[in-house]
Amino acid sequence: MSKLVSWVLIIAAIFFLVMAVTRVFFFESLDFPAPGFTAQQLSDWKARTLEPTVYLTLLYFIYRYFVGKNPTSTIWPVYVVTACFTATQFIALVTFQVLNLFMIFNFLITLFALFIFRIAHNRRKKEISTF
């Protein structure tokens, strides 16, 4: 299980790096391919999932600030973002006009990553508490 967690984190880090660089430098020329989506549907899907994820994550950490709790491990913020993204994807699956295989596959990958990030957080939390 430890190797699986490490590999998923490495793959996620590479994916996030590639997405960040392409979004910053090649925003107009590159668009994430989504089979079965028109450009407008893809734009709507992004607006319904990615933007609310950012706002929910920020809201969560503002709440944590006011209750005086710090993240318990370095992977916790990644877990929170993934949890918010999973929630917004689930809502989009229920409310979006077009349901296709891309949305379901993306949701399942995110759900799997959420599970792995929680395992990584629990492992790191145990390491921190033993010191």
Per-residue pLDDT of 52-86, as tens digits, reads 888 888 888 888 888 888 767 778 888 899 999 99
Q: Please, where are the H alpha helices in the chain?
A: 2-25, 39-67, 76-95, 101-129
Q: Phi-psi category of 36—alpha, beta or left, where left has phi over 0 and alpha has psi -120 to 50?
A: left
Q: Tell whether 69 is covered by a domain.
A: yes
Q: Tell whether 76 is covered by a domain.
A: yes
Q: 28: exposed, middle or buried (C-beta count within 10 Å: 0-12, 13-18, 19+)?
A: exposed
Tokens of 108: 């399942």
Q: Tell whether 2 is covered by a domain.
A: no
Q: Say which amino acid occupies 13.
A: A
Q: Tell whether 67 is covered by a domain.
A: yes
Task: Answer whether residue 131 shows pLDDT above 60.
Answer: no
Q: The domain containing residue 61 runs over which residues?
A: 35-129
Domain count, the chain: 1
Per-residue pLDDT of 7-16, as tens digits, reads 988 898 888 8
Q: Tell whether 122 is covered by a domain.
A: yes
Task: Answer whether residue 103 shows pLDDT above 90.
Answer: no
Nearest alpha-carbon partner for 58 in 87, 76, 21, 84: 84
Per-residue pLDDT of 39-56, as tens digits, reads 788 778 888 888 888 888
Q: Tell whether 18 is covered by a domain.
A: no
